[in-house]
Structure 1
């Protein structure tokens, strides 16, 4: 499945210096496959503008999201609750691929659609009570290459990585406890990015 024309990153290397584990696998599929999944996800996912309740006010983002899973799991973040939709064929294929590569299992997926570089995500951690504590989160990226950043909650040290089209990054262990992450906006990107984060909801 790997693109032999690009050097493979050291997947055993932890991008974080301490207090968590983040492994970047780089491309896990050929360019034609990545293009296929990008186009399928853009056209078949039930995208909705994301909503958040901040200081009692409903905020609707330009960024779009979708939530899928084994069952109609409830997932609550930013004071709003979503119910998981049934898997699409492409999501089942990508879930199996993520599980095979990471040797983990997942029962749900939160998808984000960023239309261009003006859309991003502020500093946050995925530590909602619905999620399995210290469970692995597998992040698949399609479309525009974007910088992804981590910031330690205590000493504020920062680690950056560029997430490529058709690539996989995994966050696990105590990463969500000790680190924030974000997708910073950029004027350099004018094309969309689709991100899938496969996770485990505690049943």
Structure 2
């Protein structure tokens, strides 16, 4: 699929089968987007992410933060995080994303990639805490990066360039049948902040 597909119709499913992914394009002009990027870089309680792999604790260069309606516990990569209360900027962004997507979310996992050397390996967001087949809204600020999907059986790939302040939504059976990743690149030297709004079920 064309990475720069200009059809920004948010009703077009980017996946050929077995899931739903919609790209809404940018939500803000550059000045607004730059301001939100600054606020997120400086107003979020960032922490280095941790994972336990084969019994060994790994600390990543990438930083994360977890916010929600309640102090939800969210477990992935064999580690558990407790959600912090929303700040005012996150609540504004949450309301905008909910209005655009027609969905509601009760939490947000944020990722800070300092440059193109930091990325995310192939995975699916299928943790037991998440609403089954629920929507995950991915809002990106900062460096323009490629985002990729790979079908778990056919290995077919779909790729999309995510712009500064762009919104992408994954829903339906996407997490069941598709992996996704943020591939590293040596061409990017600036930061990217990604917010994934999601629904936790207790």
Mark yes or no: TM-score above 0.5. Answer: yes
SS at match of 1:131: coil
Superposed, which structure 2 residues align to 1:1-203 within 5 Å? 9-203=8-202
Runs of 4+ in 1 over 6 A off after TM superposition: none
Q: CA deviation at 1:8?
A: 6.8
Where does structure 1 lack aligned partners over 5 or more consecutive residues? 1-6
- How far apart in 2 are the matches of 1:104 and 1:31? 25
| Pairwise CA RMSD | 0.8
SS at match of 1:118: coil
Please say if residues 23 and 171 of structure 1, whose CA atoms lie closer than 8 Å, have aligned partners that are also in contact: yes
Corresponding residue of 2:3? none
Where does structure 2 lack aligned partners over 5 or more consecutive residues? 1-5
Q: CA deviation at 1:30?
A: 1.4
Task: Report the count of equivalent residues.
Answer: 197
Please report the TM-score for the alignment, with normalisation by the length of structure 1.
0.96
Post-superposition CA distance 1:14-43 (Å, at most 9, x none): 000000000000011111111111000000
- How far apart in 1 are the matches of 2:7 and 2:68? 30
- How far apart in 2 are the matches of 1:106 and 1:8? 27
Please say if residues 8 and 25 of structure 1, whose CA atoms lie closer than 8 Å, have aligned partners that are also in contact: no
- How far apart in 2 are the matches of 1:10 and 1:95? 21
